[in-house]
Amino acid sequence: MTVKLNCLADVCLIPIGTGKVSVSDEVTVITRLARESHLECTLHSAGTTIEGPWDEVMDLIGQMHQILHEKGVVRIQSDIRVGTRTDKKQKPQDKIDIVESKFKQLK
């Protein structure tokens, strides 16, 4: 069965055993890959949010793993949180805007 859902995936790839504390080199590589894809991608302080069709988003995450392995990272652990909804189309910024709007009403 092919999954026909649109999703928002929050992804954090964690390179293990690189011998250094910083992961900015690896983040730069996968951010470039994400930005060159046709999917909407938003970098944030602890990962990347990717928006698009389920299969394409999961394929991009797999490509992220593959490119880092090709760059010499032997082990990668990923934290992935995926959300779907069928009642409306929603962008990551829409979710932020709604909370910010409600927050202003509390003041």
Residue 2 has pLDDT above 90, yes or no: no
CA 94/CA 40 separation, integer angstroms: 13
* In the chain, where the domains are located: 6-106
pTM over 0.95: no
What pLDDT, in 10s, does the model give residues 41-86?
999 999 999 999 999 999 999 999 999 999 999 999 999 999 999 9
The reported pLDDT for the residue numbered 35 is: 95
**Distances from the Cα of 64 to the Cαs of 25, 72, 86, 89, 91, in angstroms?**
13, 13, 27, 25, 22
CB 37 within 8 A of CB 60: yes
Residue 96 has pLDDT above 90, yes or no: no
The reported pLDDT for the residue numbered 48 is: 96
Other CB atoms within a 10 A radius of the CB of residue 29 amount to: 18
What pLDDT, in 10s, does the model give residues 4-37?
999 999 999 999 988 899 999 999 999 999 999 9
The reported pLDDT for the residue numbered 89 is: 86
The phi and psi torsions of 4 (rounded to 5 degrees) equal: -115, 30
The reported pLDDT for the residue numbered 70 is: 96
The CATH number assigned to the domain with range 6-106 reads 3.30.70.930
